[in-house]
Amino acid sequence: MASHHQKAKGKVTGSAGRFGCRYGRFVRKRVNEMEKVSGALHRCLRCDTVAVQRRGTGIWECRKCGFKFAGGAYVPQTPVHNVALRTIERALQKEA
* 44-68: pLDDT as tens digits: 999 999 999 999 999 999 999 999 9
Set out the domains of the chain in order of their start, with CATH numbers: 14-95 (2.20.25.30)
Q: Which residues lie below 8 Å from residue 25, measured CB to CB, with a gap of 6+? A: none
**In Å, what is the CA distance from 86 to each residue of 8, 51, 91?**
45, 24, 9
| pLDDT confidence bin for 92, thresholds 50/70/90 | very high
Residue 21 assigned ligand-binding role: no
Burial of 29 (0-12, 13-18, 19+ CB in 10 A): middle
Q: Are 32 and 39 in contact (CB under 8 A)?
A: no
pLDDT for 20: 86
Counting every residue written for the chain, the total comes to 96
